Amino acid sequence: MPPKKPSVASRRPAPAQPVSVVTGGAGFLGSHLVDVLLARGHRVVVIDNLITGSTDNIAHLAGHADFRFIKQDVTEYLYLPGKVDFVWHFASPASPIDYLELPIQTLKVGSLGTHKALGLAKAKGARFLITSTSEIYGDPLVHPQVESYWGNVNTIGPRGCYDESKRFAEALVMAYHRQHGIPTRMVRIFNTYGPRMRVNDGRVVPAFVSQALANKPITVFGDGSQTRSFCFADDLIKGIVRLMFCDKATAELPVNIGNPHEMTMLQFAEEIIRATGSKSRVVHKPLPQDDPKQRKPNIARAKSLLGWEPKVPLSEGLKPTIAYFRGKLGLA
C-alpha cells in the first residue's frame, strides 16, 4: 500500500519558539522568572551586570540549550541578533542598602537602562514589561494603595533615588507606548520574599530571618507599628507573567501585584521567631528617614484584569525561604 499522505494538521509548521530577554535576570525575582519562561518553552537571554545579582541564582541553568547569559550593564547600548518577542525589564538595585551605596547606579538603570531596554523592544517589535514598585507611592496618604494614587514622595530623601528612578521609568514607558505604539506592561511590586534573596540586602525578610537563625536580637525600627504585606515570589511571578500575556484593553496601565494581608513589623518579627524556633528577642532602633508607615496593595485591578490573587500563605512561603537562608548561612 502507498504511504498515507500527511494530514493537513501534520503539515502545518511548528509554532516559532518565543524569545524573551530578561534584564536583571540573575537577581532574586529575575531568576525566578527565567525558570518559569524556560519551563514554558521560551528561549531566554539574561542581561545582568551582577552589581546586585549573582550567577549563583542561574548556575543551575548552565548548559541549558535555550538559555544564554550576557554580562553587561543595561545602561549601555543593547544589541542582539535575531528576533526578540518579549523584553522583561527587571534590572535595578532594590533594597535600602542599595539606595545608600548605589544611588547613581539606581537612577541610571531606571532612566538610561529603561531607555535602552525600550529601544531594544522597539527595534525588535517586542512586547515590553517593566517592574515598577510600591515605592512610587512613597509614604502613602491613601491606604490601601490603589493604582490611581499619585503618591507622597520625598524627591531628595535617601530613598528618592529609587522612588524617582521608577517614577521616571513609568513615564518613559508610557511615552514609548503612546509615541511608538509599543505594547507595554507595568507591574508595581509590593514586598516580596522567597529563596534567592541576598542575605545582607537590608530588606526586612533577610534581616529578620538571618538574625533569628543566629539567635541574635531582631532589629525592629521605631515602635514596630508600621505595616507591610508580604507576597511569596512564586505568586508574584505568576501575576507578572499573566500581565505580560494579557491582551485586554487597558493592560498597559499599572497593576499592583502583592499580598493584601497586612501586618505590623512586630507581628512579623514574632512570626519569624516562631517559624525558625529562634530564641531571639526584639530590640528597637530609630526609624529611618522616610520609612513608610503603611504599605498594603489594593489588588482589585489584578483580580479583574488578570484573575490573579496570591495563594501561598506566609507560614508556607517561609518554609523554603528559611531553608534557603539556613543553607546560605551554613546552618543546613
User: What secondary structure letter does DSSP report for 140?
Assistant: -
Cα separation, 164 vs 136, in Å, equals 7
- The closest alpha carbon to 128, from 167, 175, 164, belongs to 175
> Residues 6 or more apart from 106 whose CB is under 8 A from it?
92, 93, 98, 99, 161, 162, 165
Cα separation, 7 vs 275, in Å, equals 58
Catalytic site positions: 162
Cα separation, 125 vs 226, in Å, equals 44
* Cα–Cα distance list, 307 to 71, 113, 248, 270, 310 (Å): 36, 31, 12, 32, 10
Q: Among all chains, which residue has been given the C-alpha cell 518559569?
A: 36
Residue 20 bridge partners (DSSP): 44, 86
Cell of 273: 521567631
CA-based max dimension of the chain: 87
Q: Considering only CA atoms, give the Rg of the chain.
A: 21
Cα separation, 205 vs 192, in Å, equals 9
- The closest alpha carbon to 147, from 160, 161, 157, 132, belongs to 132
